Structure 1
Amino acid sequence: MPRIVAVGACYIDTILTVPHYPGEDDKLRASKIAHRRGGNCPNTLEVLRDLARCHPNAFPNMEQLELRLLAVLPAEGSPATEFIRESLCERLLYPLCIFREQVQEAASSYIIKSQGTGSRTIVNYNGLPEMTVDEFIQKSRQIRTLANAVSTWYHFEGRIPEVTIRCIQFLRSDFPQYKISVEVEKPGREGLTALAAAADLIFYSRSWAENQGYHSGKECLEAQLSKTRDDAMLCCTWGAGGASAVLKSPHSTQAWASVFSTIGAGDTFIAGMLYALTINDFMSFQQKLEFANELAGRKVVQEGFAGLADQLHLT
């Protein structure tokens, strides 16, 4: 049974849709308000869950895919945690989530969505004490005592790199058979290149790549090849420019794949790649990238993640 553990923050988003972005000290009436569960890793797990649920015949070895979230949440009995539990299902939260019983509010994003320009302005707030390395070690050893998985994959959002790198080092030491992926997303965040150097699979964002002076996904990956493990896979999404990926080998040869047909959505693209990679040799390298890219392209034309897996029509 394959297992994927996603390590990252879980948010509750409040989205206000307005006719235009307000100026300072303005008053403006919103046309719509919505509340949803957010966060990179929870979003990715939601898509993975639906893929495994919708297409057991296409990927029979994924039927019992075990998905877990390792995140810091507010008090276990709080309304915020109940909202998150209902959105993800209880099985994904236990036993790895860490509950801060002294805190009632979840990490939150307040999003102003302008109908005039299509822009989204986001303000984040997180009053939860972050996960410590010791807590990660305890939880990782705890899940090891559960039913044995055929393979285990840890995916890290790339938050607080100085903590994340020590978590990865622990896994490399105690569980060297595990696969590890990381997101290199936030421009200017120190320590992300060190995380990339320690991972088996790296997801570079367009915003990070452009901040580094790159003009395409392939240019970014070519520059990062020498800074990653010999057997690593590197991916970079580029919005309407599609996605590029490179698979290194210990013998310094590379296999490239690119797709340019659809717009990408990061969390969904990551779910597609993790899903395709977990089914081992069912797809070629190019097919895995195309699968993830198509899934991401379908995400950007709808609100939320519901129904994405159904649209793929896999048999």
Structure 2
Amino acid sequence: MKSQSSVVIVLFRFSNSDRERSGKEERERCFGSRRRSLRYRISMSSDPQNAVVVGCGGVSIDFLATVAAYPKPDDKVRSTSLKVQGGGNAGNALTCVARLGLNPRLISKVADDSQGRGILDELQSDGVDTSFLVVSKEGTSPFTYIIVDNQTKTRTCIHTPGYPPMIPKELSKSSLLSALDGAKIVYFDGRLPDTALVVAQEAARKNIPILIDAERPREGLDDLLKLADYVVCSAKFPKARTEASTNPQALVSMLLMLPNIKFVIVTLGKDGCIMLERSVDAGSSMEEVDADNLLESLKLKRNKSVSIPTCISSSVAKLKAEGIGTVSGKLYVGTAESIPQTELVDTTGAGDAFIGAVIYAICAKFTPETMLSFAANVAGAKCRDLGARSGLPYRADPRLASFVLEKLSTSA
């Protein structure tokens, strides 16, 4: 704890007035460019341009300091750059969704302080509907110190939760129903567990699809997973949740434990992702295949000379996990973009960008192969700038043009 405190003091040593002025100037610079960028959104009738997406989860202000190399205990170092911008998993993912052209509504909580106002301003400037956020007259808004190591391209987060936490009664029944009205999908990042469960139960009653970001085991997450249609996991979550020894076995286990899930994805950073999609049409005579062996066979088919994201899929099979069981489904291996070291800036929020793109792909009815490649492209674009949001691409970004054109051709 001593070493963390020393680092934070050195990186962020300025008075409260300096902090607010620095944050305000940085937000104005960022928000002004975002407002100008909104003019470049394009409208296509065959895309889910007006689809409503509801998100429930965390928001924050991020203080991002880049250092030449992460300090050792009791070291004092200077930051090479400082950036102040909005963060939080739900806030980041819905910002991504908004820039891709959908209509996101966010359920969360901030305090009526300078950080809370900054959070609201940034979300609103990106087109996120914040009318369902609770603004507490007392307390503090969440914030995170993020130390970006320019040498290893890694980041370390030190988060301070907001206080007091959101409770279900702060979201009235009428507000909840208004938020869910017309929604195509509801997304949860696993935070605000009591409120999230109330929202998820109402969404399930209305047959609105539910996507869960399973980043790590959290209070109340299991209750949310039981209601989920789609799950996107961090690299460590599936094995931690199921105690399986490999990811393929863990994904089989998750589909067996959670019968409502249509697919589960595990993101693996620079190694791409794995997805297991449930099949409901598999015949009893279908061949049984070991899940681990199937994954290895798909990996051998990857073309490592290609830098752009690709996706390889198996045929529908009965996937067997030794000692766990079998499930009928289809396995996918998605690659990440191979980003040159000179272009890789920061991985903060890459998972949120990936999830935002998956949400868009579900609304756009992309094929699984297209969805995973699209999401990897969006995440790769994000990694070329500092912070969780600066690099998020807009709908008209040339890097996404092939996916828009593919959707148009399949819709014709």
TM-score for both structures, normalised by structure 2: 0.64
Are the counterparts in 2 of residues 184 and 193 from structure 1 also a CA contact under 8 Å? no
Q: 251-260 or 291-300: which moved more?
A: 251-260
Runs of 4+ in 1 over 6 A off after TM superposition: none
Question: Do the aligned partners of residues 243 and 133 (structure 1) sit closer, same or farther apart at CA in structure 2, a change above 3 Å counting?
Answer: same
Question: Do the aligned partners of residues 143 and 260 (structure 1) sit closer, same or farther apart at CA in structure 2, a change above 3 Å counting?
Answer: closer
- Report the equivalent of 2:400: 312
- Report the equivalent of 2:356: 271
Question: Do the aligned partners of residues 142 and 221 (structure 1) sit closer, same or farther apart at CA in structure 2, a change above 3 Å counting?
Answer: same
| 2:124 is equivalent to residue 94 of structure 1 | no
1:214-233 mapped onto 2 (5 Å cutoff):
217-230=247-260, 232-233=262-263
Give the 3-state SS of the residue equivalent to 1:30 in structure 2. Answer: coil
> What is the identity, as a one-letter code, of the residue corresponding to 2:150?
Q
State how far apart, in whole Å, the 1-side matches of 2:267 and 2:185 are: 21
1:42-121 mapped onto 2 (5 Å cutoff):
42-52=91-101, 65-75=102-112, 78-89=113-124, 92-103=128-139, 105-121=140-156
- Report the equivalent of 1:287: 370
Q: Percent identity?
A: 24
Give the 3-state SS of the residue equivalent to 2:236 in structure 1. Answer: helix
1:142-157 mapped onto 2 (5 Å cutoff):
142-143=178-179, 149=182, 151-157=183-189
- Report the equivalent of 2:214: 184
Question: Do the aligned partners of residues 291 and 31 (structure 1) sit closer, same or farther apart at CA in structure 2, a change above 3 Å counting?
Answer: closer
Return the index of the structure with the highest Cα Rg. 2
Are the counterparts in 1 of residues 97 and 103 from structure 2 also a CA contact under 8 Å? no
Q: Report the count of equivalent residues.
A: 291
Question: Do the aligned partners of residues 253 and 238 (structure 1) sit closer, same or farther apart at CA in structure 2, a change above 3 Å counting?
Answer: same
Residues 112-134 of structure 1 deviation map (CA, whole Å, 9 limit, x = unaligned): 22334333222111232222223
> What is the identity, as a one-letter code, of the residue corresponding to 2:160?
Y
Question: Do the aligned partners of residues 86 and 36 (structure 1) sit closer, same or farther apart at CA in structure 2, a change above 3 Å counting?
Answer: same
> What is the identity, as a one-letter code, of the residue corresponding to 2:134?
I
- Report the equivalent of 1:58: none
Residues 61-97 of structure 1 deviation map (CA, whole Å, 9 limit, x = unaligned): xxxx32111110111xx32233223322265243210
- Report the equivalent of 2:84: 35
| 2:255 is equivalent to residue 169 of structure 1 | no
Are the counterparts in 2 of residues 74 and 106 from structure 1 also a CA contact under 8 Å? yes
Are the counterparts in 1 of residues 353 and 392 from structure 2 also a CA contact under 8 Å? no
Deviation at 1:215, TM superposition (A): 6.6
Are the counterparts in 1 of residues 251 and 276 from structure 2 also a CA contact under 8 Å? yes
Deviation at 1:99, TM superposition (A): 0.5
Q: 31-40 or 202-211: which moved more?
A: 202-211
Question: Do the aligned partners of residues 142 and 41 (structure 1) sit closer, same or farther apart at CA in structure 2, a change above 3 Å counting?
Answer: same
| 2:338 is equivalent to residue 302 of structure 1 | no
Are the counterparts in 2 of residues 137 and 170 from structure 1 also a CA contact under 8 Å? no
Deviation at 1:108, TM superposition (A): 0.5
Give the 3-state SS of the residue equivalent to 2:177 in structure 1. Answer: helix
Give the 3-state SS of the residue equivalent to 1:245 in structure 2. Answer: strand
| 2:70 is equivalent to residue 21 of structure 1 | yes
1:212-251 mapped onto 2 (5 Å cutoff):
212=241, 217-230=247-260, 232-250=262-280
> What is the identity, as a one-letter code, of the residue corresponding to 1:18?
V
Question: Do the aligned partners of residues 214 and 228 (structure 1) sit closer, same or farther apart at CA in structure 2, a change above 3 Å counting?
Answer: same
Give the 3-state SS of the residue equivalent to 2:210 in structure 1. Answer: strand
> What is the identity, as a one-letter code, of the residue corresponding to 2:377?
E
State how far apart, in whole Å, the 2-side matches of 1:94 and 1:25 are: 41
> What is the identity, as a one-letter code, of the residue corresponding to 2:250?
C
Are the counterparts in 2 of residues 156 and 181 from structure 1 also a CA contact under 8 Å? yes
State how far apart, in whole Å, the 1-side matches of 2:184 and 2:128 are: 15
Deviation at 1:217, TM superposition (A): 4.5
State how far apart, in whole Å, the 1-side matches of 2:375 and 2:246 are: 18
Question: Do the aligned partners of residues 29 and 302 (structure 1) sit closer, same or farther apart at CA in structure 2, a change above 3 Å counting?
Answer: closer
TM-score for both structures, normalised by structure 1: 0.81
State how far apart, in whole Å, the 2-side matches of 1:261 and 1:28 are: 33
Deviation at 1:143, TM superposition (A): 2.8
Are the counterparts in 1 of residues 263 and 275 from structure 2 also a CA contact under 8 Å? yes
State how far apart, in whole Å, the 1-side matches of 2:74 and 2:335 are: 43
State how far apart, in whole Å, the 2-side matches of 1:21 and 1:240 are: 20
Residues 212-255 of structure 1 deviation map (CA, whole Å, 9 limit, x = unaligned): 55676534312211011345221111112212222224456423
